[in-house]
Structure formats: structure tokens, C-alpha cells
Amino acid sequence: MSAQLSTAVHYRPMMAADLPVVSALEGSVYAFPWSIGNFRDCLEAGYDCWVAAERGVLIGYAVLMVAVDEAHLLNIAVASPLQRQGIGKAFLQYMIGVARHRGAQMVYLEVRPSNVAARELYREAGFQQIAIRPGYYPAHGGREDALFLGITL
């Protein structure tokens, strides 16, 4: 699959050579980032790992695990200075398209209750809360629950 936004954002499969940039971007947007090894493991496991680039500069990434007819969006991010410009919304829709193309009938994800911007993005995309996963995320001074969301394709 390939797509292009009118803002000159292109999507392509993530490659091992992207991992240092992906890892640096991850560290800049999350207080408790994945390690470069987490991303490497996802690539090696054959997950759908994608990057978003603008004028050749990596500005976002996503990791999707598809099994049978379900997909789990494990991670998605856009560089902080480019957030709230529609890039994440378009990338999320692209990844939903990847899931659909791979035969998924549902897409699931977890989100922190404290991540209000992401929660709104997912709500606008049609995700519904299914459950709460207690203590799912590391947090300063303890753990934070995860909202488990899903969308039917």
C-alpha cells in the first residue's frame, strides 16, 4: 500500500536503517519510550511497521500487529512540532487501511487516560472504549491504567 497526503507526507515500510531516528523520535514524544530493541523486535517479528516522511525527513512511525482478522495498533506517533496539524489523523487512517488490507475486521489499541489529545484523535476516528487495563503503563510515581479501544472495520 502507498499513499500521499496533499501536505507531501509519504508513507513507507520502516527499515532497520530507520531505527535510530524512530527511537529518537519515540524518546522525544513519550515519557516512557520504547527502546530501539522493541522496534527491532517488531520488525523482525514481521509486524506492519511504517514511517511517515515529509521531504525525506522521518516525522512519524506506527507499528501494527495483525493476527487472523484482528489488528492491534501497538504504537503510533508524530513529531511534537507537527502534532495537531492533521498528520496523525491521516496516518491513523492510513494504518486502519493497512489493517483492512491485511484482512482485519477490528483494530484495537491502548491509550493513557492522561493522553487527552490521542483520546480525542481515536474518538474522532470512531474508536470505542471496550475495557480498562489496570496499571498497564509505567508512570511517574507508579502505574497508569490503559483505556482499551476498538473499531470495527
In the residue annotation, 137 being an active-site residue is answered as: no
Which residue among the candidates 11, 122, 137, 144 is catalytic per the annotation? 122
Three cell numbers at 48?
Answer: 506492519
Asked whether the beta carbons of 80 and 122 are under 8 A apart, the reply is: no
Report the distance separating Cα 66 and Cα 102, nearest Å. Answer: 7
Which residue among the candidates 26, 110, 137, 144 is catalytic per the annotation? 110
- What per-residue string of b and e applies to 65-99 under the rule 16 or more CB within 10 Å gives b? bbeeebbbbbbbbbbeebbeeebbebbbebbbebb
Helix 36-44, helix 19-29: angle, nearest 10: 130
Asked whether the beta carbons of 111 and 147 are under 8 A apart, the reply is: yes
In the residue annotation, 30 being an active-site residue is answered as: no
Report the distance separating Cα 115 and Cα 121, nearest Å. Answer: 10
**What amino acid positions are annotated as catalytic residues?**
110, 122
